[in-house]
Structure 1
């Protein structure tokens, strides 16, 4: 009996350790070279809220009856705006309502970050004629628009993007958006020392998250039979999809001191 209890305790501890490891692994380790420019950015990027919609009581009833998991916020919104009245005289009443083909849910399989996704700026200081170190600072020379997107065409692209954005933001805890802008004149008061007799180059990159997973599609029907209501999903298909999602208001800095022009 004691041996069985010890095995059970070890099993529970291993389960918690696995859960903790998986959760920690899903969070992105942000390098020290990544800088938050949200306050300094001369272009005010709109904040991206997680697309979460609470189903109504009627919508919950239908979603719980579905034979396939449904998480698409647009479909949930449609169900929230719908209603069917119950009546004691509905015996023998039957109806099938076709709502169309929808992306039902997205399953994230792999999430990684490319901190040098797109170079957006280069600052330069020539100190070859100097006898003492000089300071080089970041200043955005031109406005840069950084765009992400899906890696392949897919039906109902906008809804799929919302579900992928939701999954990537939860896994990385980073501010993500499919479009972000670094405004001209944006500055950061972090000095980079350029030694005497050398050239200093400060490169700024916009990071982006690479999200990969599977999206499930299906034809959605609302079936009414008497006072009973349910969702039936037919012709279910699954497609692999990837996306690049820029990190909003963050820059990765790379500094190089060189004796020769680069």
Structure 2
């Protein structure tokens, strides 16, 4: 009896541990407030899908990356290494070469990811019902095309490479459709109804949400070293720098509705 209980307890503990590991391994999508709505189908401006695949290193590239003392995650550097070939030479004894590949942003380490659901105001609709005797309805309609841009919070070397790595990390952490620019087309509308009482003005504000990504980027001079049939990557003059970025949430809008006795 005790043996059965012990086996059952072990199985239950194993199941619970597996469930925790699986839950922690999945991206934690932030809880989206009820005031935030997706407008991808209604948007009159077709934003291109932000598709940044996680580039897989080739077998040779992975072997080279494993020899480096610093993690290498820059997809552009990985692409260059993937396109390189190094032949094994049976008579390469004594052969030596050091090839300078340049100074690179090697990796980005995320420390904080937060969402501002009212990052930038993109539109205001209003209805004047001060002379009315019953409530009237209003809905969102984009008055003019609006471009919402994000970007890095400071100037850093290899800015485009840094932005790409930060975008990849933020997308993985939030599981949200992010892009450094999103456009809301004029005439975009949503059927959600807001009621304006008699003797009131109704204001419907629309905002573009964005993710605030913060962390650290590491730079270094990259050398490909060949010694006989051995090949490795050596990184010199390693430096790190803190960096932040605002990355808009694509094809989403956050709405705020207020009524007033007077014009705002």
Partner of residue 90, structure 2: 88
Give matches, 1:124-143, under 5 Å: 124-143=126-145
Partner of residue 172, structure 1: 174
The answer on 1:78 being equivalent to 2:80 is yes
Unpaired runs of 5+ residues, structure 2, are: 1-8
Give matches, 1:48-127, under 5 Å: 48-127=50-129
Partner SS state of residue 61, structure 2: helix
Report the CA distance shift for 1:243/1:201 in structure 2 as closer, same or farther (over 3 A): same
Report the CA distance shift for 1:54/1:90 in structure 2 as closer, same or farther (over 3 A): same
Deviations 1:157-177 (A, max 9, x none): 001101000011111111100
Unpaired runs of 5+ residues, structure 1, are: 1-5
Whole-angstrom distance in 1 between the partners of 2:191 and 2:30: 25
Q: Indicate the larger mover: 15-24 or 95-104.
A: 15-24
Partner SS state of residue 242, structure 1: strand
The answer on 1:261 being equivalent to 2:263 is yes
Give yes or no for contact 1:51–1:73 (8 Å, CA) kept in 2.
Answer: no
Whole-angstrom distance in 2 between the partners of 1:15 and 1:219: 41
Whole-angstrom distance in 1 between the partners of 2:140 and 2:251: 14
Q: Where in structure 1 do 4 or more consecutive aligned residues deviate above 4 Å?
A: 12-24
Partner of residue 215, structure 1: 217
Please, what TM-score do these two structures have when normalized by structure 1?
0.92
Whole-angstrom distance in 1 between the partners of 2:158 and 2:93: 38
Partner of residue 207, structure 2: 205
Whole-angstrom distance in 2 between the partners of 1:34 and 1:250: 7
Whole-angstrom distance in 1 between the partners of 2:248 and 2:85: 39
Please report the RMSD computed on the Cα atoms of aligned residues, expressed in angstroms.
Answer: 2.3
Please, what TM-score do these two structures have when normalized by structure 2?
0.91
Deviations 1:36-72 (A, max 9, x none): 1001101100000134211122211111111111010
Whole-angstrom distance in 1 between the partners of 2:152 and 2:18: 35
Whole-angstrom distance in 2 between the partners of 1:68 and 1:19: 28
Partner of residue 254, structure 2: 252
Shift of 1:187: 0.8
